[in-house]
Structure 1
Amino acid sequence: MSSRKPPSSSGRSKGGGVSAPTVARDLTVKVRTARRRSNSSTQWLQRQLNDPYVQEAKRRGLRSRAAFKIMELDDRFHLLRPGLRVVDLGAAPGGWTQVVVERTRLLDGGRGCVVGIDILPWEGVAGAHCLTHDFTADDAPDLLKTALNGPADLVLSDMAAPTTGHRKTDHLRVMALAEMAWDFAESVLAPGGAFCCKVFQGGTEGALLARMKQLCESVRHAKPASSRAESPEVYVIAQGFRGRPDGEEDL
């Protein structure tokens, strides 16, 4: 059994959203290896069935355990509040988008805007503009800006390329997506805006980190408790966007 604390089923954040579930784990469920199921598939299924964040996400009607990651990051860095305009990159299946809509209170008549995009088909989230499109396509930035219809206060990216099992290759793929996400953020963030993006352990690459520090008041890394211990993912959070230097063009 992991020493990581399971989520707590009670408590709300200062931003009005629900925080992550400290209920005890249920009894461990063991999965027998089926004739047509590989050992790796069986191990994955057993991990899912015994993951308290998976269980709590299902109980709350959240689409993924990843929803607790953005809850934790928001509780720590105060990223979300009513009325914000937010872009969610790599949004499928919609767990982060659900949390953003709730904490910006869009369904309570809030004036903000939430736009999510993913290359995978995903079901729309009430209150958000949900796009099924490849963010790396040339027309993606314009599609997002049209849906946003104004500057963004926050750009989120939980994008990840399919893993190969080769740590260096996977790191390079994730960092390529992070660089694209940041380039987009530079073109759309309002002054004072924020950026939160998945990277891999080892942190953000030097050139990208230097650029963020140049254009933002603070840049920090964090690993939410709900991120699996064996996962190399961490998040970079850049806040207090100052804007691009004069003379630099947008995307």
Structure 2
Amino acid sequence: MSRGGSGGRQRVKTGRGRTASSTRWLARQLNDPYVRRAKAEGYRSRAAYKLMELDERFQLLKGVTRVIDLGIAPGGWSQVVRKIAPKAAIVGIDLLPVDPIDGVTILQMDFMDDDAPQRLAEALGGPADLVLSDMAANTVGHPQTDHLRTMALVEAGCAFCADVLKPGGAYVAKVLAGGADNDLVAELKRMFTTVKHAKPPASRKDSSEWYVIAQGFKAQPKAESEVEITT
């Protein structure tokens, strides 16, 4: 690895056993100001700044007391919640192992497991003010397939919100390639007062990721099977 170019930009030589694509990725990481800033400020990933920027625009973390972080690894979003809302209870879930974060309960399991929603709700101990989802399915290189797989996670998060959010709560989820599809947007508009798409500055310009911001959760009517019958 050698330093070159202007402004201290680092150039990475293609090393033995390193592909050209991995060399480009390493160079991008080394020269990414958000990566350098995250390292300097103690955040586990540059994604922390995406949440900061979304919070600055939408006031997501103002007054929150309970937060769920879906796809918590490596933990940058929960670190931001801890900094901005230090008294909030936070529960995160991920298939990947995550190093402990002070004040955060972390479940290592698949959110799509049948037991996951109940485990999260029990760990949180009450209705959530905010459900965050930075989940994305592992990509296979086929844009339509990647989009559908990630949208399935967003839809699962939306269904989870119906059970765990308190009235007025919010749901933030990563979507790909232009945002949520029409059916999902319609469902979100039924459940929330406002639904918007945003691409925070910390998202790389060449990335297809966007975020859907749904705020003002409306109390959902119980299904017939849940309606209490009195005589």
Q: Please give the range of the TM-score, normalised by the shorter of the 2 chains.
A: over 0.9
Residue identity matched to 1:32: K
Alignment partner of 2:10: what SS? coil
8 Å Cα contact 2:180-2:212 kept in structure 1 = yes
Report the CA distance between 1:207 and its aligned residue. 1.5
Task: Check the 8 A contact 2:64/2:129 in 1, yes or no.
Answer: no
User: Are residues 1:46 and 2:27 paired?
Assistant: yes
Aligned counterparts of 1:245 and 1:209: Cα–Cα separation in 2: 19
> Partner residue of 1:27?
8
**TM-score, normalised by the number of residues in structure 2:** 0.92
**Unaligned ranges ≥5, structure 2:** 1-5, 227-231
RMSD across aligned C-alpha pairs, in angstroms? 1.5
Q: CA deviation at 1:249?
A: 6.8
2:52 is aligned with 1:71: yes
**Structure-2 change in CA distance of 1:142 and 1:218 (3 Å):** same
2:14 aligned counterpart, secondary structure = coil
Distance 1:209 1:115 in 2: 26
Query: 2:166, 2:215 → 1: CA distance?
Result: 11
- Residue 238 of structure 1 aligns with an amino acid whose one-letter code is A
Who is 1:61 aligned against?
A: 42
Distance 2:38 2:7 in 1: 14
CA 1:228–1:26 in 2, change beyond 3 Å: closer, same or farther? same
Paired residue for 1:198?
174
Note the alpha carbon deviations across 1:131-177, whole angstroms, 9 max, x for none. Answer: 11111111100110110011000000000111122111111111011
Q: How many aligned residue pairs are there?
A: 221
Query: In percent, how many aligned pairs have the same letter?
Result: 54
User: Which position in structure 2 is the counterpart of 1:131?
Assistant: 107
The letter of the residue matching 1:75 is E
Greater C-alpha radius of gyration: 2
In 2, are the aligned partners of 1:91 and 1:158 still within 8 Å (CA)?
Answer: yes
Aligned residue for 2:150?
174
Q: Secondary structure at the match of 1:134?
A: coil
**Which consecutive residues of structure 1, in runs of 5 or more, have no partner in the other structure?**
1-24
In structure 1, what is the Cα distance between the partners aligned to 2:209 and 2:224? 31
4+ long deviations beyond 6 Å: none
Pairwise CA distance, 1:248: 6.1
Q: Is the 8 A contact 2:72 2:93 kept in 1?
A: yes
If the length of structure 1 is used for normalisation, what is the TM-score? 0.85
